[in-house]
A and B are shown apart, each in its own frame.
Chain A
Amino acid sequence: MNGKSKIERIDQETLSSLGQFTLPQILLRQSERLGSDRVAMREKAYGIWQTYHWKDYFRYAKLVGMGLISLGLKRGENVALIVDNGPEWLFAELGAQSVGALVVPLFTSAVAKELVEGINRIEAAYVFAQDQEQVDKLLAFKGDLSHTRRVIYTDPTGMRTYEDDPWLISFSQLLDLGEELDREQPELYNKELWEGKPDDVALMLMTSGTTGFPKLVMLSHANFTDMASKWLQTAPIGIEDDWISITPTAWIVDQMWGIGVTLCGGMVMNFPETFETAVEDFREIGPTVIVSSSRFWEDLASKIRVKINDAGFLKRRLYEMSQRIGRQVVDLESEKKEIPRTLRLLQWLGIRIVSRPLMDRVGCLNFRAAYTGGHPISPDVIRFFRANSLNLKQCYGLTETCGIFQVQPDEEVKPETVGKPLPGTEIQITEDQEVLVRSKSVFVGYYQNPEATAEALKDGWFHTGDAAYYDDDGHLLIIGRKQDIMRTREGEAFSPDFIETRLKFSPYIKEAVIWGEGQEYLTAFINIDFGNVGNWAEDRKIPYTTYTDLSQQPAVEELIRGEVAEVNTQLPDPMKLVRIILLYKLLDADDEELTRTGKVRRKFVFEQYKTLIDAMYSDKTEVPVKGQVRYRDGTVGTIETTVKILTV
């Protein structure tokens, strides 16, 4: 889309030299080149967007680094970050890296026990905590955190009464210490900074532990710079283009962009004011590029459709017309057919009158490219956005590959594929359909786990664990996790992921888990989407109370049964779902049913809900349940209900 038309690309010389430096060294070079003229970060505070220039960025990172040295940090030690998106995150990360520390970000949504396990695993000498909430989690287990010398908290709200605790120190105090040390030893920072080498490990990220213990992926500075240069060469992004930072800092996406692409490319990191204002702030920024999950786009599409329903007659008519035209164009384009002149003209009108204002309203006007990853997105949703002139494309990547390495090219956007590899990336598909990747962005290894590393990395080829195949256009199509591919009693192979994704295309289905290994037929657990099904129920004047209540309503059962039957039509006979259960509670990470990144832990769920699964393979039509729920504060409650088994 033609939001911001001019791309100021970073020059070739800088681009090709990236691999020779560490990320903090690149920060220094950027601050020398882009100085105080160019914006590096924006944070919305006190109602306005406060800007930080590259010189500020470098200065604060330096003060953090010096502050850490002042507290006693030694080269090679580990630093944990339990922080939200904000300038302090980047200052802390690059600051720690610049003085030789290895950074490990953890989820702010994790419970205390998880955090303590993570911190102790890496023996973190220092921990950056976002606010009182995180500090309280750590204080509860202070005795167990013997390696951690100090905890540095960013947000001072509510911390007044903690001031006496010598274990804690505020971010602003850290900066002061850094300033002091820098005054006393002005040569020290530079010396430490230039001791860093590009092959040093910069960051370690936890991978989702869908099977057992999560692993720590070690990513080097070189991994990031290589991945960044690939993106800067091929994606339509340049200096001062905008990225909005809203995904967890412990995930690869914002890390890949935060210290990878935006740092190396001179782009701007934008931080919203609060969680509640994120949508409005997103709109104000109108970012240039975004990488988001399929769920984000699906939700946005439903939101738009709901809002259009409430609009006046004229708007609705115009909208419907423009959508029809847009879709026609998109369909012709994807079939690589000629588009008639009149249609082009109508499309132009439609874009000017409807699409542009519509996209502007949701903050998507300036996207030169928008990517959706993680899970295949509903083809309908892709068509919807492309019909509105938003260049939405699918992509694929993993933490171990330092993010995304497969992207659909602009002219070749088709449903379900993940396109072609980025330059400098080799792909191989083994006999058992596993995808292997080799490039300079592929990770260094798993922390303190040589066996897992040896299994995953062979001759530089990373074994993704995903099964895929190539289509006629040379695009890669992901089937699902290789290890999840199951066989029915008759020996038919199926990928539960494949079916689950298609079920989740329905706005009424939030999560689905397929069962059927060694069984006669396939069954599924369905989690309804409380918001969308709730709205649907309200429209039909069906009263409901809780999630449990709504999920067991007869009308809702019919609705979901219909959705599943629809998906069944797209599946070959042996893969059709025969019986389903609408679960009485949402699968949750706090109950260990999902990972922190929202992926289902199949084995665990299988064991927890065995009675229900067995019931689906028996004659029963209902099962009384007494289930446990873990609440946010750690207390455990019980839900007692009767769950019905539906036949599709």
Chain B
Amino acid sequence: MKAFRGEPSIFTSARPEDRRAELEVKDLTLKFGGITALTKIELKVRNGELVSVIGPNGAGKTSLLNCITGYYKPQEGQILFNGQDVTRLSTHHLTRLGIGRTYQNIELFPGMTVLSNMLLARHVHCGYHVGRASLFLKSVQQEEIRHRKVLEELIDFLEMQSIRKQLVGSLPYGMRKRVELGRALALEPKLLVLDEPFAGMTLEEKEDMVRFLVELNEAWNQTMVLVEHDMSIVMSISKRVVVFDFGVKIAEGSPDFVQNHPQVVKAYLGDTSKIE
């Protein structure tokens, strides 16, 4: 019944210690030949926080995300996830540890359905190997059902019922971004990294996405790191905002603090008027 909806079992049945996410970035420096993308970055994300990373274009925000999710290997510094050094680990290792992300330029398979795309993320939680799968044993069937149930709950949470069997390539941009989020959530990430989730969306689509992200963070304690340009959204939903400029962290603090910070204003606007 609709009276009992909105409680995905991956959240309700998980123990708090299973979803714990503490991220620590120490002294991170990333260079591409002569260009220094990131210089001595220090960042802490505590369990259950929604931290936004903002800054002008080219400030190094996506580079930071790529370091955290294993695409780039920094020359100096460390990344600790739940106390473990994950700096040199590969991307697929990191997903197993519980770091999931969405991509700025949607990385879904356009020729596959929404369900299939989301199902891909479940490989991390798959208990069977090719032998048992090829025989499609009862235990494999049960597990497939369980995965499908998890996905359906996420589809219900993200209100995507009408598109579940549609090819991703045929969906409007805003819905694809939602499927992207769905795929990341299907991973059951401890830390969710979002790379410009609101880019290119209409006002209505943004409102829906904000609703989902806020629900994830406030009701289900999802730890999130968000890179975003839409200031009004960033300022209203973040617990903490970190500002980058030219690869250097120039400010960090509450949204109010950051909004009035002179260096931040200067980085964006070049003068001392307040950012709205």
Interface residues, chain A, with chain B CB atoms under 8 Å away: 43, 45-48, 86-88, 131, 154-158, 160, 170-172, 175, 273-274, 276-277
Residue pair B161, A170 in contact (C-beta under 8 Å): no
Asked if A171 meets B3 with Cβ closer than 8 Å, knowing A158-B211, A277-B161, the reply is yes
CB atoms of A155 and B5 under 8 A apart: yes
CA–CA, A207 and B5, complex, Å: 33
Name the residue in B148, B153, B161 with the highest tally of chain A Cβ atoms < 10 Å from its Cβ. B161
List the 4 closest A-B pairs by CB distance, nearest first: A276-B162, A46-B152, A171-B3, A155-B2
| B5–A86 CB distance below 8 A | no
What is the distance, in angstroms, from A93's C-beta to the closest C-beta of chain B? 14
Please tell me which one of the listed residues A46, A156, A170, A172 contacts residue B156 in the complex, with CB atoms under 8 A apart: A46
**Cβ contacts under 8 Å, B88 to chain A:** none
Tell yes or no: B146 within 8 A of A by CB.
Answer: no
A154 touches B3 (CB 8 A): yes
Q: Please determine whether A170 and B1 come into contact, CB atoms closer than 8 angstroms.
A: no
Chief secondary structure at chain B's binding surface: helix
Contact A88 B3 (CB under 8 A): yes
In the bound assembly, the distance between CA atoms of A170 and B1 in angstroms comes to 13
Q: What are the residues of chain B within 8 A of A154 when measuring CB–CB?
A: 1-3
Q: Which of B215-233 contact A (CB under 8 A)?
A: 215, 218-219
**Smallest CB–CB gap between B204 and chain A, Å?**
12
CB distance from A154 to the nearest CB of B (A): 5
Q: A46-B156, A273-B161, A276-B161 are in contact. List 16 more A-B contacts (CB 8 A).
A: A43-B1, A46-B155, A47-B152, A47-B155, A47-B161, A47-B164, A86-B1, A88-B2, A154-B1, A155-B2, A156-B3, A157-B5, A171-B1, A175-B3, A274-B161, A274-B162
Which residues of the partner chain A approach B5 to less than 8 Å between Cβ atoms? 45, 155-157
Instruction: Provide the bound-state CA to CA distance between A172 and B1, in Å.
Output: 10
| B162 contacts across to A, CB distance below 8 A | 274, 276-277
Chain B residues with Cβ under 8 A from A277's Cβ? Answer: 161-162
CA distance A46 to B1 in the complex (A): 10
Q: Does B6 count as interface, using CB distance less than 8 angstroms?
A: yes
Residues on A with C-beta less than 8 A from B215 are 158, 160
Which residues B125-152 have CB closer than 8 A to chain A? 148-149, 152
Tell yes or no: B4 within 8 A of A by CB: yes
Query: Hey, which chain A residues are within 8 Å of B3, CB to CB?
Result: 88, 154-156, 170-172, 175
Q: A46 near B219 (CB under 8 angstroms)?
A: no
Residue of A nearest to B156 (CB): A46
Interface positions of B (Cβ within 8 A of A): 1-6, 148-149, 152-153, 155-156, 159, 161-162, 164, 211, 215, 218-219
Contact call A46/B153, Cβ cutoff below 8 A: yes
Q: In the complex, which residue of chain A has the Cβ closest to the Cβ of B149?
A: A46
Q: Complex formed: what's the CA distance from A154 to B6 in Å?
A: 12
Tell whether, in the assembled complex, residue A86 and residue B2 are in contact, meaning their CB atoms are under 8 Å apart: yes
A133–B164 CA distance with the chains assembled, in angstroms: 25
Q: Residues of A contacting B211 with CB < 8 Å?
A: 158
| Chain B min CB distance to A127 (Å) | 16
Whole-angstrom distance between the Cβ of B147 and the nearest chain A Cβ: 12
- Least distance between B164 CB and chain A CB atoms (Å): 7
Closest chain A residue, CB of each to CB of B4: A172
Chain B residues with CB under 8 Å of A276's CB are 161-162
Contact assessment for A160 and B1 in the assembled complex, using a CB-CB cutoff below 8 Å? no
**B219 nearest CB neighbor, chain A only:** A160
Expressed in whole angstroms, the minimum distance between the Cβ of A164 and any Cβ of chain B is 15
Task: Report the Cα distance A154→B3, complex, angstroms.
Answer: 5
Give, as a whole number of angstroms, the nearest-CB distance from B273 to chain A.
31
Question: How distant is A103 from chain B, measured CB to nearest CB, in Å?
Answer: 18
Contact B219 A88 (CB under 8 A): no
Bound: A175/B1 CA distance, A: 12
Closest B residue, CB atoms, query A277: B162
Bound Cα distance A131, B1 (Å): 13
What residue in chain B is nearest A160 (Cβ atoms)? B219
Partner of A160 from B2, B149, B218 at Cβ < 8 Å? B218
Nearest Cβ in chain B — how far from A83, in angstroms?
10
Residues of B within 8 A of A88 (CB): 1-3
Chain B neighbourhood of A43, CB < 8 A = 1
Name which residue of chain A comes closest to B162, CB basis: A276
Q: List 9 A-B contacts (CB under 8 A).
A: A45-B156, A46-B155, A88-B1, A154-B2, A160-B219, A172-B3, A274-B162, A276-B162, A277-B162
Cα A46 to Cα B156 with chains together (Å): 7
> Which residues of B are found within 8 Å of A160, using beta-carbon distances?
215, 218-219
B192 CB to nearest A CB, Å: 19
User: In the complex, A156 Cα to B211 Cα: how many Å?
Assistant: 14
Closest B residue, CB atoms, query A280: B162
Known contacts A45-B156, A46-B149, A86-B1; A157/B6 CB under 8 A: yes
Which residue on chain B has the smallest CB distance to residue A278? B162
Residue of A nearest to B152 (CB): A46
Specify which of B2, B148, B153, B159 lies most central, judged by the most chain A CB atoms within 10 Å of its CB. Answer: B2
> Once the chains are docked, how many angstroms separate the CA of A87 from the CA of B148?
24
Among B4, B6, B156, B211, the most chain A Cβ lie within 10 Å of the Cβ of: B4
For A170, the chain B residues whose CB sits under 8 A away are 3
> For the complex, what is the distance from the CA of A48 to the CA of B164, rounded to whole Å?
12
Bound CA–CA A88/B2 (angstroms): 8
Inter-chain CA distance A412–B190, complex, in Å, is 67
Query: Which residues from chain A contact B156 at a C-beta distance below 8 Å?
Result: 45-46
Closest Cβ–Cβ distance, residue B200 to chain A (whole Å): 22
The CB with the most chain A CB atoms within 10 A, among B1, B6, B148, B149, is that of: B1
Which residues of A have CB within 8 Å of B153?
46
Residues of the A chain whose Cβ atoms lie less than 8 Å from the Cβ of B148: 47
Of B156, B159, B219, chain A has the most CB atoms within 10 Å of the CB of: B156
A55 CB to closest chain B CB (Å) equals 16
On chain A, the residues within 8 Å of B2 by CB distance are 45, 86, 88, 131, 154-155
B43 shortest CB reach to chain A, Å: 29
B183 to chain A, nearest CB (A): 17
Q: Among A47, A48, A87, which residue has its beta carbon within 8 angstroms of that of B1?
A: A87
Shortest Cβ distance from B3 into A: residue: A171
Kindly list chain B residues whose C-beta atoms are within 8 Å of the C-beta of A86. 1-2
Residues of B within 8 A of A87 (CB): 1
Q: How far is the CA of A160 from the CA of B218 in the complex (A)?
A: 10
Distance of A110 Cα from B123 Cα, bound (Å): 46
Instruction: Report the minimal beta-carbon distance from A67 to chain B, rounded to whole angstroms.
Output: 12
By a CB distance below 8 angstroms, the chain A residues around B159 are 274
Q: How far is the CB of A258 from chain B (nearest CB, A)?
A: 16
Q: Which residues of A contact B155 (CB under 8 A)?
A: 46-47
List the B side residues contacting A171 at CB < 8 Å: 1, 3
Bound-state Cα–Cα, A48 to B3, Å: 17
Inter-chain CA distance A272–B181, complex, in Å, is: 25
| Complex Cα spacing A31 to B148, Å | 33
- Looking across the interface, which residue of chain B has its beta carbon closest to that of A272? B161
Distance A217 CA – B218 CA, assembled complex (angstroms): 46
Q: Are A156 and B6 closer than 8 Å at their CB atoms?
A: yes
